[in-house]
């Protein structure tokens, strides 16, 4: 009889221990859709916030280190391979050259479609800025400050371009367009060149900083 009671007590004890363990560490956890959505939102990449911090802390400070636009223009005019060697960035198997440039320029003309700038003494426009919507990855890739391998997926990396372009449309292009012909401005921006196409000038620059 004593043995039977002992076995019963052992069985009950094991049952209690297993029950407590399962309660404390359930093999299956059920998460509500609301909670799951909240977790996903918390992990989501905030491109707008990222670009705001990137713009202030990295892109604008880098403008002072960009290549002198006059030097780049002169090399593209006289020795394009040297311009590529010294100042261009290239990505993967693509043939395009990306430049990050800065300098002084005189406003030659301003209209709804484009702004023409002269960076030397001949009075001819060597830089063209299109006033319409900004598309593509010229600034993201041309500035040389962002590494795609640092981002978990390509969608996040593409969202950065979208937010950068929106900021340029909202803040930089209107400031440049407010200048009258003859005004002298300081600027920095990125350009993308296909060396296989005839005529490398004028540079089609997307500005990221303009003064005044």
Residue 179 lies in a domain: yes
For every residue of 56-107, DSSP letters joined together read: IIIIHHHGGGSEEHHHHHHHHHH-HHHHHHHH-B--TT---EEEEEEEEEEE
- The chain-wide mean pLDDT, for the chain, equals 87
Q: Is 59 left (phi over 0), alpha (psi -120 to 50) or beta?
A: alpha
Dihedral of the alpha carbons of 12, 15, 21, 27, in degrees to the nearest 10:
-170
CA distance 54 to 61: 10
What pLDDT was estimated at residue 71? Answer: 98
Question: pLDDT value at position 19?
Answer: 54
Cis peptide before 212 (omega within 30 of 0): yes
Report how many domains make up the chain. 1
Mean pLDDT of 149-161: 94
78-101: average pLDDT: 94
Rounded average pLDDT over 182-201? 96
Question: What confidence tens digit (pLDDT) does each residue in 93-103 have?
Answer: 778 999 999 99
What φ, ψ does residue 164 adopt, rounded to 5°? -60, -45
Which carries the bigger pLDDT value, residue 128 or residue 19?
Answer: 128
Torsional sign, CA 102, 90, 169, 108: positive
Give CA–CA dist 207/162, Å, rounded: 15
- The confidence score (pLDDT) of residue 38 equals 41
**Residue 56 within a domain:** no
Residue with tokens 């060396």: 195
**Chain-centre distance of CA 5, in angstroms?**
73
- The CATH code of the domain that includes 73 is 2.40.50.420
- Is a pLDDT exceeding 80 seen at residue 59? yes
* Over residues 135-152, mean pLDDT: 95
pLDDT at res. 84 = 97
pLDDT at 112: 84
**Tokens 């950068």 — which residue?**
164
**Is the residue at 38 inside a domain?**
no
pTM of the model: 0.80
Q: With bands split at pLDDT 50, 70 and 90, how would you rate the model's confidence at 152?
A: confident
Residue 60 lies in a domain: no
Q: Say what the pLDDT of residue 94 is.
A: 76
C-alpha pair distances (Å), 14 with each of 1, 6, 11, 24, 63: 20, 12, 5, 15, 70
In a domain, 1, yes or no: no
Cα torsion angle, 151, 51, 46, 94, sign: negative
- Structural domain contains residue 47: no
> Is the pLDDT score of 92 beyond 80?
no
In a domain, 99, yes or no: yes
- Tell me if 99 sits within 8 A of 67, measured CB to CB: yes
- Average pLDDT (25-29) is 57
The answer to whether the beta carbons of residues 104 and 119 sit under 8 Å apart is yes
Taking residues 74-91, report their average pLDDT: 96
Domain membership of residue 74 as a residue range: 67-211
Residue 190 in any domain: the answer is: yes
């Amino acid at each position: 009889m004593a043995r039977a009671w002992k076995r019963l007590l052992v069985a009950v004890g094991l049952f209690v221990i297993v029950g407590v363990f399962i309660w404390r560490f359930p093999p299956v956890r059920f998460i509500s859709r609301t909670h799951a959505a909240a977790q996903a939102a918390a992990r989501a990449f905030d491109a707008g916030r990222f670009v705001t911090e990137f713009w202030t802390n990295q892109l604008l400070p880098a403008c002072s280190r960009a290549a002198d636009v006059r030097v780049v223009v002169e090399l593209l005019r006289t020795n394009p391979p040297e311009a590529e060697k010294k100042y261009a960035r290239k990505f993967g198997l693509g043939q395009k050259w990306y430049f990050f440039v800065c300098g002084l320029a005189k406003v030659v003309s301003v209209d709804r479609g484009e702004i023409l700038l002269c960076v030397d003494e001949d009075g001819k426009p060597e830089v063209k800025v299109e006033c319409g919507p900004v598309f593509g990855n010229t600034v993201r890739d041309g500035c040389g400050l962002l590494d795609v391998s640092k981002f978990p997926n390509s969608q996040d990396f593409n969202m950065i371009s979208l937010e950068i372009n929106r900021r340029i449309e909202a803040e930089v292009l209107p400031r440049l367009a407010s200048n009258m012909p003859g005004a002298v401005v300081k600027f920095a921006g990125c350009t993308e060149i296909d060396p296989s196409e005839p005529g490398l000038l004028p540079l089609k620059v997307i500005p990221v900083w303009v003064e005044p």
